[in-house]
Structure 1
Amino acid sequence: MLIRHASDLTENDVTPKSAFVNRRQIIQAAGGIALAGAVPGVFAESQSVPSWLNQTVDQTVFRSVTTDEGITDRADATSYNNFYEFGTGKGDPARHSGDFNPYPWEITVDGECTKPGTFDLAPLISGASASEERIYRLRCVEAWSMVIPWIGVELGKLLQQFEPTSDARYVAFETIERPDEMRGQRSRFSFIDYPYVEGLRMDEAMHPLAFMAIGMYGEPLPNQNGAPIRLLLPWKYGFKSIKSVSRISFVREMPPTTWNLSAANEYGFYANVNPEVDHPRWSQASERRIGANGDVDRIETRMFNGYDEVAPLYAGMDLRKFF
């Protein structure tokens, strides 16, 4: 898989924004009637999106093509997903995230860097680079997958703004903790501890494929998909792509991660997609691809989810041990 930039692309290579479902146009055409049907909130404007974010998404340079596979319908990608802060059911994030207000948003940066602090999201995004679209495969550890067009910036370019020192061997991430707005965080039935935490080695974080998304399908991120900013690591299982990031820490030691803390024998720190290493309760050799028009196909899973260029990051490692 190769990320190709504007100078390498022809008009036919680039996914036009008009090909995506435009939420505003649909709602207007329907006379303001919500179209989500069985899952309220899929197309709902639960909070007022700031003008800078709408402008950033609208002016995105659509310059990166990373797969030519059929794109999952927006309605499926925004109504069938995991975000346990809003409930454990696949439809719970869309149903229960309407009270979550992601604007304005700040990210605290600390640890082994020369420019720590608490920063508004807008200057962080504008300081990283021009936003771009990337069409990534998303493979869930539960053996289902989608193909989704995201809008955002390279993680490495965002992190460089804080000037991490040579002591920074890992990057830790933390999701916002707002139990009043996120019902899953206050549920007595929750089996994970909050806030949700994740982490990467520095070389993983600086790889060009690592991405911070602020939009999808030509629109700002919906609440249920991790508004206003989430991580994307297309060669890893989906639970590594932490949502609604509120803290980034540069650390010397391997940081704790939520699912590894919950069940270390099932969810390793690395969580690289590997069809040869099964989950203790199911095979990872194949997956259910939720594609265009709601079609679901059974396909073979590829090592690193097909993103072979990350293989040098793990040269010499036993990927059955470091899963």
Structure 2
Amino acid sequence: MLIRTHDNGFDHGIPSEITPRAVYQDRRRLLLQLAAGAAGATLAAWASREAMAQTARPGKLPALQTVRSTVPGAQTMEKLTDYKDASTYNNFYEFGTDKSDPARYAHTLVTSPWTVEVDGLVKKPGKYAIEDLLKLAAQEERIYRLRCVEGWSMVIPWVGYSLSNLVQKVEPLGNAKYVEFFTQADPKTMPGVTSQVLSWPYVEGLRLDEAMHPLTLLSFGMYGEVLPKQNGAPVRLVVPWKYGFKSGKSIVRIRFTEKEPRTAWNRAAPQEYGFYSNVNPDKDHPRWSQATERRIGEDGLFAKKRKTLMFNGYEAQVGQLYAGMDLQKQY
């Protein structure tokens, strides 16, 4: 079983279920050895690392037991973003607009108890406690690129499972074409909700086939641990081929609809933010180019930026979803 209820609502883990952060940080080195032809030594080293995982704690947050994902595209050889950077440089406007605001203020967020309501055009609507969601499917480790519309990117090892597991359980009706996600909007614990920068609650949406794609992740953790509050605890969405704002944090409701939902940023600035928001180096934001990106923790002030990849590098996996569409107009 994944969890035992404590004050924070999560299991603090037992030694046999814990994966150390060092395993994640060393993966790229091991894979490079493999690519160089040292297959036997690399596999032995990997087995040794896995054995080490049985005895070490990864960090301060409760651990999640995981299996390595076999979903195509769910792993990458790229260097991981340092945990400190990934947990302190965030967009989470419910806690403020500065990148450091979420880490500074999100400690006020209450994540237990927590429920997610699923309703709309489904045969089996209902409310799910976070404990029930955690037990719905095996927790997988997936290393995804995260690309934000402002031009920065990260590589993060997420923990979760395909959203399709939940979608299939609630059985969408034949006329359900979209999935709408509502996030927590509590002015008592989220100081940014009192601002007028967006209409609250924060709402995002996906087409049903996008939501059903195996890469679309319902995430409960990162770096082998439960999600930090500033990263969207206790449950968030991760859609790796879209800009980061499409991945709603601290989700409290999922609704299935026939009509395309109006999303938070689309309502705030429709000339800048379309419904699809796929990462596209050829479609600039009105105020800045999307052709290049800055990898957090890697690129110095004078370092050359990376070229942005179509669909954030997941074109082989998701490109067919948009066959025949004009990606300049349907952005």
TM-score tier (shorter): 0.7 to 0.9
Instruction: For residue 277 of structure 2, give the secondary structure of its aligned residue in structure 1.
Output: coil
Pairing 1:221–2:227 present: yes
Q: Which of 267, 271, 275 pairs up with 1:265?
A: 271
Displacement after TM superposition at 1:292 (Å): 5.9
Pairing 1:108–2:109 present: no
Pairing 1:185–2:221 present: no
Q: Which amino acid aligns with 1:196?
A: Y
CA contact (8 A) 1:289 1:297 kept: no
In the alignment, the residues of structure 2 paired with residue 12 and residue 116 of structure 1 have an alpha-carbon distance, to the nearest angstrom, of: 47
Displacement after TM superposition at 1:154 (Å): 0.5
In the alignment, the residues of structure 2 paired with residue 165 and residue 297 of structure 1 have an alpha-carbon distance, to the nearest angstrom, of: 49
Q: What is the match of residue 32 of structure 1?
A: none
Displacement after TM superposition at 1:283 (Å): 0.5
In the alignment, the residues of structure 2 paired with residue 157 and residue 303 of structure 1 have an alpha-carbon distance, to the nearest angstrom, of: 27
Q: 1:13 to 1:120 in 2, by over 3 A?
A: same
Displacement after TM superposition at 1:160 (Å): 1.1
CA contact (8 A) 1:73 1:292 kept: no
In the alignment, the residues of structure 2 paired with residue 109 and residue 157 of structure 1 have an alpha-carbon distance, to the nearest angstrom, of: 13
Q: What is the match of residue 49 of structure 1?
A: none
Instruction: For residue 293 of structure 2, give the secondary structure of its aligned residue in structure 1.
Output: strand
Alpha-carbon displacement from aligned partner over 1:134-172 (angstroms, at most 9, x marks no partner):
000000000100000000010111211111111110000
Q: What is the match of residue 302 of structure 1?
A: 309
Q: Which runs of 5+ in 1 are unaligned?
A: 1-9, 25-44, 46-53
Q: Which of 36, 42, 59 pairs up with 1:23?
A: 59
In the alignment, the residues of structure 2 paired with residue 13 and residue 301 of structure 1 have an alpha-carbon distance, to the nearest angstrom, of: 31
CA contact (8 A) 2:143 2:157 kept: yes
Aligned CA RMSD, in angstroms, stands at 2.3
Q: What is the match of residue 173 of structure 1?
A: 181
Q: Which amino acid aligns with 1:108?
A: E
Displacement after TM superposition at 1:125 (Å): 2.7
Q: Which runs of 5+ in 2 are unaligned?
A: 1-42
Q: Which amino acid aligns with 1:310?
A: V
Once the two structures are overlaid, the 10-residue window that deviates more, 282-291 or 265-274, is: 282-291
Q: What is the match of residue 132 of structure 2?
A: 123
Identity of aligned residues (%): 54
CA contact (8 A) 1:70 1:292 kept: no
Q: 1:148 to 1:181 in 2, by over 3 A?
A: same
Instruction: For residue 148 of structure 1, give the secondary structure of its aligned residue in structure 2.
Output: strand
Q: Which amino acid aligns with 1:93?
A: P
- Give the total of aligned pairs: 281
Q: 1:84 to 1:21 in 2, by over 3 A?
A: farther
Instruction: For residue 312 of structure 2, give the secondary structure of its aligned residue in structure 1.
Output: helix
Instruction: For residue 88 of structure 2, give the secondary structure of its aligned residue in structure 1.
Output: coil
CA contact (8 A) 2:299 2:305 kept: no
Displacement after TM superposition at 1:214 (Å): 0.3
Instruction: For residue 68 of structure 2, give the secondary structure of its aligned residue in structure 1.
Output: coil
Instruction: For residue 135 of structure 1, give the secondary structure of its aligned residue in structure 2.
Output: strand
In the alignment, the residues of structure 1 paired with residue 258 and residue 132 of structure 2 have an alpha-carbon distance, to the nearest angstrom, of: 27
TM-score under structure 1 length normalisation = 0.82
Q: 1:297 to 1:146 in 2, by over 3 A?
A: farther
Q: What is the match of residue 76 of structure 2?
A: 67
